[in-house]
Amino acid sequence: MPVAQPSPVTAASSDPSRWGRVDEEGTVYLRTADGERAVGSWQAGAPVEGLAHFARRFDDVLTEVELLVARLGAGGGDPKQTLTAARGLRGGLDEASIVGDVPGLAARLDELIGLAEQAVAAARTARDEQRAAAVARKEELASEAEALAQEATQWKQAGDRFTAILDEWRTIRGIDRKTDEQLWKRFSKAREAFNRRRGSHFADLDRQRGAARARKEELAVEAEKLAGSDDWAPTAARFRDLMAEWKAAGRAQKDTDDALWQRFRSAQDAFFARRSATFDERDAEFAANAEAKKALLAEAEKIDVSDPTAARAALRGFQERWEEIGKVPRDDIRPLEARMRAVEEKVREAGDRQWRRTDPEAEARVAQFRDRVAQFEAQAEKAEAAGDKRRAEQARSQAEQWREWLTTAEQAVQSR
């Protein structure tokens, strides 16, 4: 706010005669630069009292002016009212019935008027700025509301934000009525659009929850029917499918959903508890079978294969006992089967070796090679006796070749 300097105007009551006089007829005059001006008449007493009366009236006006100056400087009240009052006092000052430093008071009023005009202009600027800020803020709030109305999906947070926007909206002042109504229409329209979208969403959600409740009722009923099944693998697979369908069904109302889940889960737990008990019993039986097969293998691995026929007979007995024992745990199947196959392979190889050693065809080939050697040696001796060395050498060479083949054949038979 503009600040005025201390008043240079002196109170008139301290020396009224300095500013005016009273004639013999009681007329009171004010001295001015243009001469004297009659300001009133005093008949009620001594002339000096009349002059003092009009001086006090001057001081009253001066006091009023200084109060306006002080109020304006302190920022109290409306500067427009101060300006109006100052202009009123200034307009009547030239004809006022007062005695005192009227030119000084006029200058003081002119100063006050100038200060008040500045204050009025500053207040107008501040109001314009405040109005612009208020309009801008409400435009921001309206735009935010419109965005929420179109895009918001977090319904609780968005609803709380609309409430907060409305509370702030009501605190914003200083906007002209037309602009304020236009902005309010934007906000109100956005809030109504949001409420419609939210209502539609929750209506759809209620329908979805109803459908989810009906579907989960069906799944719970089926699970309860399956709880007593002994068809372990297909039923377990169906329970896995039911769980996937349960998750895909969506959520019903919380209390209903929790109750249905309890039914479904209880049925599922009952089935798998029964299956687990059955499997535990079976696993114990299989473990005992595994120990029995290990003991049987320990015997089978000691089969004497020097007599292949007896070994095969013994193996058949072990194989029959093996089948009678029954199933073993999954992890034991491969190691036990491998050991049994090793015993079977050992017996089979012993039989193969025996067969190769007694193979008639192999023996016939050895005899054939032996005969050919003897034949060529006889031819060599006969040729030598006849003196045919060339034929004798050829016969010995062929005999040697057949002897090598004979040796190889004999070795093959012996190695079986």
Please report the pLDDT score of residue 8 as a whole number: 85
Q: What is the DSSP string of 265-297?
A: HHHHHHHHHHHHHHHHHHHHHHHHHHHHHHHHH
Residue 20's contacts (CB-CB under 8 Å, 6 or more residues apart) are: 28, 29, 30, 31, 36, 39, 51, 54, 55, 99
**pLDDT tens digits, residue range 66-115?**
999 989 888 777 889 999 999 999 999 989 999 999 999 999 999 999 99
> Residue 253, SS3?
coil
**pLDDT tens digits, residue range 286-309?**
899 999 989 988 998 898 888 888
List 361's β-bridge partners, or say none.
none
Give yes or no for residue 360 having a pLDDT over 90. no
User: How far apart are alpha carbons 197 and 205 in whole angstroms?
Assistant: 12
Please report the pLDDT score of residue 261 as a whole number: 95
Tokens 């200034």, located at residue: 90
**Among the listed ranges 127-131, 249-253, 394-398, which one has the minimum average pLDDT value?**
394-398
Q: What is the DSSP string of 347-367?
A: HHHHHHHHHHHT-HHHHHHHH
Stated pTM of the model: 0.46
**pLDDT tens digits, residue range 261-278?**
999 999 999 999 999 998
Residue 171's contacts (CB-CB under 8 Å, 6 or more residues apart) are: none
Higher pLDDT, 202 or 223: 223
Percent of the chain at pLDDT above 70?
95
